[in-house]
Chains A and B, each alone.
Chain A
Amino acid sequence: DTGVSQDPRHKITKRGQNVTFRCDPISEHNRLYWYRQTLGQGPEFLTYFQNEAQLEKSRLLSDRFSAERPKGSFSTLEIQRTEQGDSAMYLCASSSTGLLAGYYEQYFGPGTRLTVT
Chain B
Amino acid sequence: SQKIEQNSEALNIQEGKTATLTCNYTNYSPAYLQWYRQDPGRGPVFLLLIRENEKEKRKERLKVTFDTTLKQSLFHITASQPADSATYLCALLMDSNYQLIWGAGTKLIIKP
* A99-117 contacts to B (CB < 8 Å): 104-111, 113
Complex: how many Å from CA A19 to CA B91? 29
B45 x A56 contact (CB < 8 A): no
Q: Which of B11-19, B61-69, B71-79, B99-107 forms part of the interface with chain A?
A: B99-107
B43 x A93 contact (CB < 8 A): yes
A42 x B43 contact (CB < 8 A): no
B46 x A42 contact (CB < 8 A): no
A108 x B44 contact (CB < 8 A): yes
Q: Is the interface of B mostly helix, strand, loop or mixed?
A: strand
| Set of chain A residues within 8 Å of B49, measured between Cβ atoms | 104-105
A42 x B104 contact (CB < 8 A): yes
* B38-88 contacts to A (CB < 8 Å): 41-46, 49
B34 x A108 contact (CB < 8 A): no
Taking CB as reference atom, which chain A residue is nearest B6?
Answer: A42
Complex: how many Å from CA A111 to CA B44? 10
The answer to whether B32 has its CB under 8 Å from any CB of chain A is yes
Q: A104-B49, A108-B44, A108-B45 are in contact. Are A42 and B103 (CB under 8 A)?
A: yes
* 19 A-B interface contacts by CB (under 8 A): A41-B104, A42-B89, A42-B105, A43-B44, A43-B89, A44-B102, A45-B100, A55-B97, A56-B97, A56-B99, A91-B43, A91-B44, A104-B32, A104-B34, A104-B49, A104-B93, A105-B46, A106-B44, A106-B46
